[in-house]
């Protein structure tokens, strides 16, 4: 299985073949509460590291999702339109947001591995 990397803004990224899958962490979805809407980017949109890629709305708040690496949107999770609660029930699985093509491998090195992310969470 591909290694998952994490940002301090609680996004995760996992490279699978030539695509990078991006979502939010379990911690992030817990902080947001029940997700009621997800706005996803257009396929083909070019994003740079740190760009806003999606918006998540919950019963508590709205929050932006940023891309941890640069690339082009190759796919979005259409299932979130019909069932945004997938983000709550499976944040690191079926609740993924988008897939990027052309992800910059050098930018991945700047992200935390799972052990570093757990340590970061412990300090919050």
**Average pLDDT, integer, range 25-35:** 96
List b or e across 79-91, with b for residues whose CB sees 16 or more CB atoms inside 10 angstroms: ebeeebebbbeeb
CB 39 within 8 A of CB 108: no
pLDDT in tens, 74-86: 999 999 999 999 9
The rounded percent of the chain whose pLDDT value lies above 70 is 99
Which domain, by its residues, includes 10?
Answer: 4-118
CA dist., res. 100 & res. 120, Å (int) = 26
- Phi and psi torsions of 38, nearest 5°: -130, 125
Find the CATH number of the domain harbouring 85: 2.40.50.100
Domain count, the chain: 1
Q: Is the pTM of this model over 0.75?
A: yes
Is 124 part of a structural domain of the chain?
no
CA dist., res. 117 & res. 19, Å (int) = 22
The rounded percent of the chain whose pLDDT value lies above 90 is 92
pLDDT confidence of residue 25: 98
Is 71 part of a structural domain of the chain?
yes
pLDDT confidence of residue 104: 84
pLDDT in tens, 41-91: 999 999 999 999 999 999 989 999 999 999 999 999 999 999 999 999 999
Tokens of 93: 């699985």
Query: Does residue 1 register a pLDDT over 60?
Result: no
Cα torsion for 91, 13, 103, 66, to the nearest 10°?
A: 70
């Amino acid at each position: 299985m591909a290694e998952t990397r994490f940002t301090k803004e609680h996004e995760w990224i996992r490279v699978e073949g030539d695509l990078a899958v991006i979502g939010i962490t379990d911690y992030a979805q817990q902080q947001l509460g029940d997700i009621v809407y997800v706005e996803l980017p257009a396929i083909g949109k070019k994003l740079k590291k740190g760009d806003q890629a999606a918006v998540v709305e919950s019963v508590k708040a709205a929050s932006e999702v940023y891309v941890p690496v640069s690339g082009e949107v190759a796919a979005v999770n259409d299932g979130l339109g019909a069932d945004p609660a997938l983000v709550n029930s499976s944040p690191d699985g079926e609740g993924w947001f988008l897939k990027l093509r052309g992800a910059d491998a050098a930018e991945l090195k700047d992200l935390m591995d799972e052990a570093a992310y757990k340590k970061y969470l412990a300090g919050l």
